Chains A and B, each alone.
Chain A
Amino acid sequence: MDKKRQNGRAKSLLQTIALPVIVWAVMEIIVRAGAGTSVLTNSADLKTFFRNLISTIAFALAISTNLNCGRMDLSLGSQMYAGTIFGGNLALAMGWGGLGMLLCSMVIGGLCGLVTGILFINMRILPMVLGIGMTLIFECICFMINRQQGVTIYGRPGMELLSNVNFIIFVVLLLVLAATYLFQFSRFGYRYRAIQGSQKLAADSGINIYSNCILCYLLSGILVACAGVFITAFNGSLSPVLGMSSNTYVFSNMFPMALGAWIGSFCHNRQIGIVMGSVSVTLLSVSLSKLGLGISTQNVIVYSLFLLFTIYSANKDKFSYRKARAARAALAAQTRAERRLA
């Protein structure tokens, strides 16, 4: 029994890490053949990889927090801008350095999420519609502060911490541990999963769906602000945008989020799944950059893969069904053959 369980765990572990390993192996071959170099060659590569990774993980976790309960929050991109621009400028003004900027941004991002959540449970308009409205509002507010300059952190004291690989890994671990605890082991997570199953049943059984929803919005606000800080760390600055352009971040992080949900089903932990999904997508993006492809070409490749994955995940039951049917047919043929021999 124990051996069976051990085998099951080993299989689950292999399935969890399989995709990132496959992506890395395939891209390593392609990059070596196409550009004559490796996917990750030096410290600059590692820094770029980890910074992109943490922002992808944080964003994908944030999207999935509400999406799992049937709420698509389109305002996450603008919350990222608001959290990072307000938090960044506050930390710069106070001289709090990189850690201070991260914390300030997360607090302000959380506040943005909180406002959105409170409005949602009170207005009860569709989450996507509220998201559009809030996107326009947050973008507008970001544009009106600091003379439309956003936040510039390059060359400012203490900000190099945000590019320190050890610090980034520490923050990734902290995020994943906190998210795993919150969603898997806490009372909030227990209620969250009940609501995910059926909001009506959860409400009837006494769960406060409203406070849970507000907490989800709060969490996603905190997470996107964290993503925004690391995006800004690489770009040196973050300039505000208008016209719902901030939505780009939401759409571009749908792929790692979807991959994460799929991988998470193997290890029964969506958060670990999202980490693995993000590692895979980040490796892919870094490799495509190494190949010197234009942004449009990269987009076509990444989104085509997203489409293929979506086709697979939407039809995997049919594949399993066909496989099982083929197995049954083979067994029947084998039985008939054995009978004939007998």
Chain B
Amino acid sequence: MKAKRWVSYILTAAMSVSLAACSSSGEASDSGSTTAQTGEAVSSSENHETFKIAVLELQLNDESTNRAEYFNDYIGPKYNCEFMFSEACDDLDSAMTFIENAASSGCDAVINYYSGGNTEQLVQLCQEYGMYYVENAGRSDTNDACYQAGYDNFGGGFQADQVDTGRLFREYLLETMDPSKEHNFIIATGGAYQGNVLQTEISTNMLEAIQELYGLTYESTLEELVTSASPIEAVNDKGIAIYCYPGGSASGWLEGISAALQTGKYDYLLLAPQALGNVGTAVSEVEEALDKDITVIGFGALGDALNNAFNTTDKFGNTTVSMSTIKFTSLVSAMAFSKVYNMLTGYSEVTKADNGEPAVLTFRMEAVTSADQLAEMSGWDTDGKWVADYDVVDSFLGMYNEGLTAEQVQERINAVTYESIKERLE
């Protein structure tokens, strides 16, 4: 009996060792806090003051892994910064808990990727602990007061350029379809009903693009359609069938999308959540069953899922996904980093707009429409081929650019286009 008890001790110890082994093997992808790298990387550090920055994540996925690699392995050594990453914070309580823990661990600033609906609480909490704060959200009714309140520690937000994203969808739809013919759409609105900022923006952009194409008027407001927790028909004066379907990862979501496609009414599936890798099977099965071509457009991230989606074809010979908007994680991360780093190094004015209120920086997404184009981008935004390299990051920092303003930073962000990246990385 005693022997068995010891066996259990040993088994538990073995499990600990296996966990430790796993952690060391996956160190490169580890989203944990790591100190600045030594050796060659440190030699490139220019004796900057050491800062510790907390990163509050909403989800842990390939994007957050990519971001952790960029911050830990690329930004950290050069700018002498240490990063601490949260678990997936899906509610405000866990976000606040992480910020409190980060303060105990000596963090100087917080970059928040958690939903932007609670700016006031988080800014105040950071202020209480003497930390700077920026968030992945734009300026809206819910946080407008924070922009006006004059918090010293609030560096504003960063988000996708909504107008430009809408343009990408509109241009693609105009190029590939005939507005004189009737087309019907399913728009998967993802977590917009839960306040997910990016998915709200993309869903709105998609609805606006269709609105403009057909010159139609919706009976409900865009907000009502996008944030509905139940599937809803976007009834309009032109009789175009547009079905907004919320959710994205919960069990039953894909069955719902599949059932809607099987009505045979819809020939376009527009996805706001990163689900391009998930809908392939459901769409191709419906195409086969109904002998109907369905075009899939969505938002994706560079990685296996997008590669597969562009490299597989349906029974009509079309790629599973026809068009995807993507964002460059390193560029978005560099925007966030530059905001906090400017504040930490005493260049807070770079984060302010002309009126003295915190500025919102926006990034533009890129459209991918073919496997060839995706192949050209192969390896981008990974180690050694970061879209936002040191030159780009330096150009956002007040310490290297005397008299830099938020407007100029925005111009420099806008200058990072597909063509300019291609030229630089090749």
Residue numbers of A with Cβ under 8 A of B are: 35, 37, 41-45, 47-48, 52, 115, 118-119, 121-123, 137, 140-141, 143-145, 147-149, 152, 154-156, 163, 233-237, 239, 242-243, 248-249, 252, 285-286, 288-290, 292-298
Residues of A within 8 A of B277 (CB): 152, 154, 236-237
Assembled-state Cα–Cα distance A292/B278 (Å):
19
Decide: A155 near B312, CB < 8 A? Known: A237-B278, A285-B252, A295-B247: yes
Whether the Cβ atoms of A52 and B255 lie closer than 8 Å is: yes
Decide: A295 near B256, CB < 8 A? Known: A149-B304, A152-B304: yes
Whether the Cβ atoms of B285 and A47 lie closer than 8 Å is: yes
With contacts defined as CB atoms under 8 Å apart, how many contacts are there between chain A and chain B in the complex?
Answer: 155
Whether the Cβ atoms of A152 and B305 lie closer than 8 Å is: yes
Count residues of chain B with CB under 8 A from any CB of chain A: 62
Assembled-state Cα–Cα distance A118/B12 (Å):
11
Assembled-state Cα–Cα distance A295/B257 (Å):
11
Q: Min CB distance, A158 to chain B, in Å?
A: 13
Q: Min CB distance, A59 to chain B, in Å?
A: 11
Decide: A44 near B286, CB < 8 A? Known: A119-B11, A236-B281: yes
Decide: A296 near B230, CB < 8 A? Known: A152-B277, A289-B259: yes
Decide: A236 near B88, CB < 8 A? Known: A123-B8, A293-B230: no
Assembled-state Cα–Cα distance A152/B277 (Å):
8
Whether the Cβ atoms of A294 and B247 lie closer than 8 Å is: yes
Residues of A within 8 A of B281 (CB): 154, 163, 233-236
Q: Min CB distance, B338 to chain A, in Å?
A: 26
Whether the Cβ atoms of B289 and A42 lie closer than 8 Å is: yes
Whether the Cβ atoms of A148 and B22 lie closer than 8 Å is: no
Assembled-state Cα–Cα distance A288/B19 (Å):
42
A45 touches which of B25, B246, B262 (Cβ 8 Å):
B262
Q: Which of B57-65, B125-133, B234-242, B348-356 interfaces with chain A? A: B57-65
* CB-contacts of B9-62 with A (<8 A): 11-12, 15, 18-19, 22-23, 25-26, 28-31, 60-62
Assembled-state Cα–Cα distance A285/B255 (Å):
9
B8 touches which of A35, A119, A147 (Cβ 8 Å):
A119
Which 3 residue pairs are nearest across A and B when measured between Cβ atoms? A122-B8, A294-B230, A155-B312
Assembled-state Cα–Cα distance A105/B401 (Å):
55
What are 11 contact pairs spanning A and B, CB under 8 A? A35-B263, A44-B288, A119-B12, A121-B4, A123-B12, A144-B22, A144-B25, A154-B281, A235-B278, A235-B281, A293-B230
Q: Which has the most chain B C-beta neighbours within 10 Å: A35, A148, A248?
A: A148
Residues of B within 8 A of A235 (CB): 254, 278, 281
Assembled-state Cα–Cα distance A42/B290 (Å):
8
* CB-contacts of B140-172 with A (<8 A): none
Q: In this complex, what residue of A is CB-closest to B26? A: A144
Q: In this complex, what residue of B is CB-closest to A125? A: B8
Residues of B within 8 A of A118 (CB): 11
A148 touches which of B62, B247, B312 (Cβ 8 Å):
B62
Whether the Cβ atoms of B229 and A294 lie closer than 8 Å is: yes
B258 touches which of A48, A154, A242 (Cβ 8 Å):
A48
Q: Min CB distance, A127 to chain B, in Å?
A: 15
Residues of A within 8 A of B249 (CB): 239
Q: In this complex, what residue of A is CB-closest to B8? A: A122
B60 touches which of A35, A122, A242 (Cβ 8 Å):
A242
Decide: A294 near B8, CB < 8 A? Known: A154-B308, A236-B279: no
Q: Min CB distance, A152 to chain B, in Å?
A: 5
Q: In this complex, what residue of B is CB-closest to A239? A: B61
Q: In this complex, what residue of B is CB-closest to A237? A: B277
Assembled-state Cα–Cα distance A148/B243 (Å):
32
Assembled-state Cα–Cα distance A42/B254 (Å):
17
Whether the Cβ atoms of B22 and A145 lie closer than 8 Å is: yes
Q: In this complex, what residue of B is CB-closest to A210? A: B4
Residues of A within 8 A of B60 (CB): 143, 148, 242
Whether the Cβ atoms of B308 and A155 lie closer than 8 Å is: yes
Q: Min CB distance, B72 to chain A, in Å?
A: 14
Residues of B within 8 A of A37 (CB): 262-263
Assembled-state Cα–Cα distance A67/B138 (Å):
50
Assembled-state Cα–Cα distance A121/B7 (Å):
11
Whether the Cβ atoms of A155 and B230 lie closer than 8 Å is: no
Asked if B117 lies at the interface with its beta carbon under 8 angstroms from chain A, I say no
Q: A48-B258, A242-B87 are in contact. List 15 more A-B contacts (CB 8 A).
A: A45-B289, A122-B5, A143-B60, A147-B28, A147-B29, A147-B65, A148-B31, A234-B281, A237-B277, A237-B305, A292-B231, A292-B260, A294-B247, A297-B230, A298-B252
Decide: A44 near B285, CB < 8 A? Known: A149-B304, A156-B308: yes
Residues of A within 8 A of B246 (CB): 294-295
Residues of A within 8 A of B290 (CB): 42, 44
Asked if B96 lies at the interface with its beta carbon under 8 angstroms from chain A, I say no
Residues of A within 8 A of B289 (CB): 42-45
Whether the Cβ atoms of A154 and B312 lie closer than 8 Å is: yes
* CB-contacts of B249-307 with A (<8 A): 249-256, 258-260, 262-263, 277-282, 285-286, 288-290, 303-305
Residues of A within 8 A of B230 (CB): 293-294, 296-297
Decide: A289 near B29, CB < 8 A? Known: A44-B289, A119-B11, A236-B279: no
Residues of B within 8 A of A149 (CB): 62, 65, 303-304
Whether the Cβ atoms of A163 and B252 lie closer than 8 Å is: no
Q: Min CB distance, A98 to chain B, in Å?
A: 12
Asked if B342 lies at the interface with its beta carbon under 8 angstroms from chain A, I say no
Q: Min CB distance, A150 to chain B, in Å?
A: 9
Residues of A within 8 A of B199 (CB): none
Whether the Cβ atoms of B62 and A122 lie closer than 8 Å is: no
Assembled-state Cα–Cα distance A312/B249 (Å):
33
Asked if B225 lies at the interface with its beta carbon under 8 angstroms from chain A, I say no
Asked if B332 lies at the interface with its beta carbon under 8 angstroms from chain A, I say no
Asked if B330 lies at the interface with its beta carbon under 8 angstroms from chain A, I say no
Q: In this complex, what residue of B is CB-closest to A282? A: B255
Whether the Cβ atoms of B252 and A154 lie closer than 8 Å is: no
Assembled-state Cα–Cα distance A42/B4 (Å):
56
